[in-house]
Amino acid sequence: MMGQEKTSARVVFDLDGTLIDSAPDIQGVANAVLAEHGKQITLAQTHSFIGNGVAVFISRMLTAVNLPDSLQAEMLPVFKNAYLTAVGHTHPYSGVVAALDALKGAGHSMGICTNKPIAPCMAVLDHLALTPYFATVWCGDSLSVHKPDPAPLHAAFDALGQGPKIYVGDSEVDAETAQRAGVVFLLYTEGYRKTPVIEVPHTAAFNDFAQLPALVAKYASNV
């Protein structure tokens, strides 16, 4: 019967803080760049700086350690180069692979929309064997704009064809992007969010990836 048919959705994910915990590697890159200036940042600071792309990360980092923002031009290419191979301490969050398998098995199409640059994004996806799950990947340098501008998210959904649109992310930036795109937003609460869950606009929240397939099924059929 038609009413019992499952609806296949387009599910797009943020990457850092949503599917993977990459903060330890990012901290390592940051501290290597800062070392010659006698400065370091903590893991907690690293979490708080992630979300708006590399340039903003470096700007926040410089402010935190009381170095002039004029150093950004010098640090940016060094940071980006080191970032390309910074994968050794990055891992998927618990339950991610099983959730992706379940979503794939249910017929949902999947993509990535992240502010991470394309080269390190593909490097870490390949390193963690996650690349085959995603039919499209849109990064911070894929377009002339990046999140919270909704253009990359729209592009990701468009590349996936037809079906209800669901975005999965962990941060205030992701929430704003979903709002501006007018799509369902599922908030992973264990990532790099800086404010209380109640203050982050979302359709539903989850703290365990085992919950995600059921949430996708629910909102795919409700859209």
Contact 102, 213 (CB under 8 A): yes
Determine which helix (DSSP H) or strand (DSSP E) holds 45, and give its type and residue range.
helix 43-49
The span from the CA of 118 to the CA of 138, in Å, is 7
The span from the CA of 209 to the CA of 69, in Å, is 38
- Annotated active-site residue 14? The verdict is yes
Collapse the DSSP code of 137 into the 3-class scheme (helix H, G, I; strand E, B; otherwise coil) and give the result: strand
Contact 136, 159 (CB under 8 A): yes
Nearest to 162 by CA among 92, 96, 109: 109
Determine which helix (DSSP H) or strand (DSSP E) holds 204, and give its type and residue range.
strand 204-206
β-strand partners of 10: 109, 165
Amino acid of residue 92 = P
Tokens 């903060």 locate to: 23
Which of the 8 DSSP states describes residue 201? -
The span from the CA of 167 to the CA of 153, in Å, is 8
The span from the CA of 57 to the CA of 52, in Å, is 7
Q: Which residues are catalytic?
A: 14
